[in-house]
Structure 1
């Protein structure tokens, strides 16, 4: 089974032209055509924390549905983190992953089923502080260890980590692998590999890249990254 996973900090749908344009974000997602997408900064931070991507636009202009978390009626996710999945993929369960935080950060998990295979996805947005990032990754890994079902897992998001080989992402000890597909921030002239994808041992990497189209270069301050992954037949 082959699936494509993408992570994208959409900057509340505000592009480099300082315009909020949710349909432009959806157009970028349609360019990538991933099966599962982790979004960061998908909700407004104040007031009712409404989603910046209207649910009816997601339904009308993309192949996705949002993983429901049912914490705030107007939000797409939790602390701006959201998961979109292709409608042909079945949702088994979803949960918020509590993180130690100073600034508004978070993580969410979904267990999904495709082709008869259960797999797990975590979307996350980590802190600017290296120490806090380590604590947050430990919390995510502890949460995964407590899950009832063992299954192939993908953890992805905006890690705010400058180091490619060291830093907080060292919490992903073997057999975990951390992909850094390329420079994704800032979008206009990317220099940092903030957006990462971590894999459990079951996955094989077919391809991993930064999506650097003309539209993506102005839709947000981050570029999306993606990986095409394979699982052996069960």
Structure 2
């Protein structure tokens, strides 16, 4: 399957992975502690242990990073779509979703020193920059490897952040269970990475052509 033909499948799997980012990552009997990755990052940023960690707010950063890397991978995958209009639609949606990380208006008024809001602004700029960089990534094996690396990096960061956030909750003796969102993101991101890295059999058949018998001139 050529990269252009598999781009649609990759984007579909990544869309499901992004949906899972906003499904519950922790489940608790109380709705207040049933949180998705985005809200968990915000909650973690309020914990003194997170703010005093080295580097500061590492847990929140790890939980927000999958959102950014998924959109970067989507921008690269969009380059393989045959329909140019569809390519630009995917890129526009990716840029709009990056704005999900824009800090609240308080940051621009009188709380510009807040480290959590600064991190959100940093990730917004980083995400927008990566989507723009994806415009120049040409379809091919390098692009497929970059998609897989971004997706697996996002999964690794998210699960690491989930583990660190779990320790914070356990310190409060809050018993939570890992939710479907975390499992779903890992599963669909791995599926998208697998499709991206799947060998192109048609290219292999083209590169390895059979030796034709020479005509007998005798």
TM class by shorter chain equals: under 0.3
TM-score, with structure 2 as normaliser: 0.26
Q: Which has the higher contact order (CA 8 A, sep 6+)?
A: 2
Larger radius of gyration: 2
TM-score, with structure 1 as normaliser: 0.24
**Higher share in helix:** 2
